[in-house]
Structure 1
Amino acid sequence: MMAAERGAAANTLSAYRRDLCGAQETIGPLAEAAREDVARLAAAWAALAPSSAARKASALRQFYGFLVDEGERGDDPSAALPRPRARRPLPRLLGHDDIAALFTRAEEEAAGNAREAVRLLALLELLYGSGLRATELVSLPFSAVPRDAPFLTVTGKGGQQRMVPVSNRARAALSRWIALRGGAEAVGGRFLFPSTGRDGHLTRVRLFQLLRALALRAGIAPERISPHVLRHAFATHLLEGGADLRVLQTLLGHADIATTQIYTHVDSARLVALVNARHPLGQARGAQARAALAAAPPGV
């Protein structure tokens, strides 16, 4: 049902399967579990982060809802599941200086036209310049490369297609990469970024590793970098520049604008910090606090 009716992505299906199998290992066959059995999951999930417990509970609620709809059960025991309050964390951010450092290093390394360096520059341009998800990027077919129109046709979550803009910089980087990669007849010709040494495309894990290695060489803490962090930077910096939230939703491929609205909180946090740092009252209070601390007796 999740695949055929909702069009859930492969990663989503895999996550649901893991959650349901994990619950079954704890309480036995899920289809036969009583309300008391389901209630035991709260203790089993006690050590989990609220967001993880909420995700597992959601998977089970949907599972039992499906059984009721199909007539497999006459009752729904999911009311006994815990309801942890999972706060959506603000995305990790990269400032403009960090982005500049990443691109400077990538461009320096690609200056010699080495195949791996040019590929990494093209990947970086598409992550930050078009806001692609990691899976969308590595699985891009060669046929998605723009010829006349400056757009990529991307297949996102649930098999939904959307068009995303490709900047002049990204198009130039892609042209350099294709010249080294070869055309559609090259090894791995189906994919824009084929895997090395096997049929298929570059993996998400390898993309993650390449970006963290680049960050280290650029003088940025590697743990601050990931493909999704660059997607966040794309969205945040567009919003800072005045992009409309609905346009941003379309570019990111969000089914629900509530998902896109997280970036308004990011921008609001930046504005609060700006007011505290630049507003005369904020500066005056900061100066008073520093003066009081300097006048305090030792040890206070």
Structure 2
Amino acid sequence: MRTDGPRELPPPLAVHLDDFADHLALENNRSAHTVRAYSTDVRSLLAHLAATNPDARIADLDLATLRSWLAGQVEAGAARTTIARRTSTARAFTAWLVRTGRLDQDPAVRLASARAHRTLPTVLHDEQAIEVMEAAKSGAQELDPSALRDRVILEVLYATGIRVGELCGMDLGDVDSERRVLRVLGKGDKERVVPYGVPAADALDAWLRHGRPHLGRPSSGEALLLGKRGGRIDQRQVRTVVHDAVSAIPGAPDLAPHGLRHSAATHLLEGGADLRVVQEVLGHSSLATTQLYTHVSVARLRAVHEQAHPRA
């Protein structure tokens, strides 16, 4: 996989970047988005190495170079989350260099980690989520194909908490209407089964009966959700649908599709769902990631308490 970008690297360094990108895509099954993000960071690191030594080879990549590269990012005003991500990328890259015999020792072993500040995600209140879904249901009563599809987008994202990429990649065969579950292909090609409720089932049924047949083309294939021209819907279209629907609700925060995922997880936990169950539904590999939503629930409880209690 070529990783052409605005910065030209010396060929002796560029070959390692291209091979690393191939490794991520072909061996680790990373998404195109992830490969781009890793490649951008590694390109920046190698460009820094080349700037400090025009004749540098990959064997010249040492701890001092890694530290000076990250220090430059800090001086340029990069956020702590960005520094943390680039540190992680550097570790993955140097570990791969060692495994493939391109470096004798891993210089990132002694590289300190930058802890990213974890901010609590913005979520809808229960009443706001209901308003969004009811508005979408009302807008679909005339059986307009686009309105029917938009209702499916909102209902399914909120009902299941799946990622926008997972929704866009879904095929007709991934919907089990009898058991009301979806087969979802998540990160790392990991498959999971996610349940959905009656409102989402109604939205899917209306779309499949009255919406998709009008937008479908011979080229549509098995894609579940279609754009106006009959092709598989893309993530940008879904983001527009979510943004427009949520922004129409007075007082609702400005949310992207991931905000509906956050809202779904928070409302599940507030409703008494087990943390492990929510982890499985969301497709998190680590329980620590899911635990963030317990903090969201506590924060919302505190906010309500402060507003309602006379001695808060």
TM normalised by structure 2 equals 0.82
Aligned residue in 2 for 1:272 = 302
Would the alpha carbon gap of residues 219 and 273 (structure 1) be closer, same or farther in structure 2, given more than 3 Å must change?
Answer: closer
Aligned to 1:116: 146
How far did residue 4 of structure 1 move? 5.0
Q: Who is 1:196 aligned against?
A: 228
Q: Distance in 2 between matches of 1:245 and 1:7?
A: 28
Farther off after superposition, 27-36 or 155-164: 27-36
Q: Secondary structure at the match of 1:116?
A: helix
Query: Cα distance, 1:55 vs. partner?
Result: 0.3
Q: Residue 7 of structure 2 aligns with which residue?
A: none
Matched, 1:239 2:260: no
Tell me, in whole angstroms, the C-alpha distance in 1 between the residues paired with 2:266 and 2:41. 32
Task: Give the match for residue 63 of structure 2.
Answer: 35
Number of the residue aligned with 2:15: none
Paired residue for 2:241? 210
* Paired residue secondary structure (1:45): helix
2:196 is equivalent to residue 169 of structure 1: no
Cα distance between partner residues in 1 of 2:230 and 2:147: 20
**What is the identity, as a one-letter code, of the residue corresponding to 2:95?**
G
| Structure 1 residue 172 displacement after superposition | 1.0
Unaligned runs of 5+ in 2: 1-22, 51-55
Q: CA deviation at 1:186?
A: 5.2
CA contact (8 A) 1:41 1:81 kept: no
CA offset digits 1:150-174 (Å, max 9, x no partner): 1111100000000000211111111
Answer yes or no: is the 8 Å Cα contact 1:38–1:80 preserved in 2: no
Q: 1:69 offset after TM fit, Å?
A: 2.3
C-alpha change, 1:121 and 1:60, in structure 2 (3 Å) is same
Deviations 1:163-199 (CA, angstroms, capped at 9, x unpaired): 0002111111111111221298754132001233364
Instruction: Indicate whether 1:45 and 2:73 are aligned.
Output: yes
- CA contact 1:188–1:195 (8 Å) conserved in 2: no
Alpha-carbon offset, residue 105 of structure 1: 1.8
In structure 2, the residue corresponding to 1:153 is in which secondary structure? strand
* Structure 1 consecutive aligned stretches of length 4 or more whose deviation exceeds 6 Å: none
Shift of 1:5: 5.0
Task: Please give the alpha-carbon distance, in whole angstroms, between the structure 2 residues aligned to 1:185 and 1:206.
Answer: 18
Task: Look up the match of 2:34.
Answer: 12
Superposed displacement of residue 264, structure 1? 1.0
> Match of 2:119?
89
Q: Distance in 1 between matches of 2:212 and 2:233?
A: 13
- 2:305 and 2:205 map into 1 onto residues whose CA distance is 44
Return the index of the structure with the highest Cα Rg: 1
Alpha-carbon separation, structure 2, partners of 1:220 and 1:181: 33
Alignment partners' CA distance in 2, 1:233 and 1:30: 48
Task: Indicate the residue corresponding to 2:93 in structure 1.
Answer: 63
| Whole-angstrom CA distance in 1 between matches of 2:29 and 2:277 | 23
Q: Is the 8 A contact 1:141 1:191 kept in 2?
A: yes
Residue in 2 that maps onto 1:144: 174
Q: Describe the shift of the 1:190–1:9 C-alpha distance in structure 2 as closer, same or farther (beyond 3 A).
A: same
After TM superposition, the structure 1 stretch with the greater mean CA deviation from structure 2, 225-234 or 70-79, is 70-79
Q: Using the alignment, how far apart are the partners of 1:68 and 1:187 within structure 2?
A: 45
SS in 2 for 1:2: helix
Q: Identity of counterpart residues, as a percentage?
A: 32
Q: Deviations over 1:252-299 (max 9, x none)?
A: 0111111111011111222333444455xxx23x5xxxxxxxxxxxxx
1:49, CA displacement in angstroms? 0.6
TM-score, normalized by length of structure 1? 0.85
Which amino acid in structure 1 is aligned with residue 38 of structure 2?
Answer: Y
Query: What's the RMSD between the two structures over aligned residues?
Result: 2.3
Change over 3 Å in CA distance of 1:106–1:251 after alignment to 2? same
What corresponds to 1:290 in structure 2? none
- C-alpha contact (below 8 Å) 2:162/2:282 kept by paired residues: yes
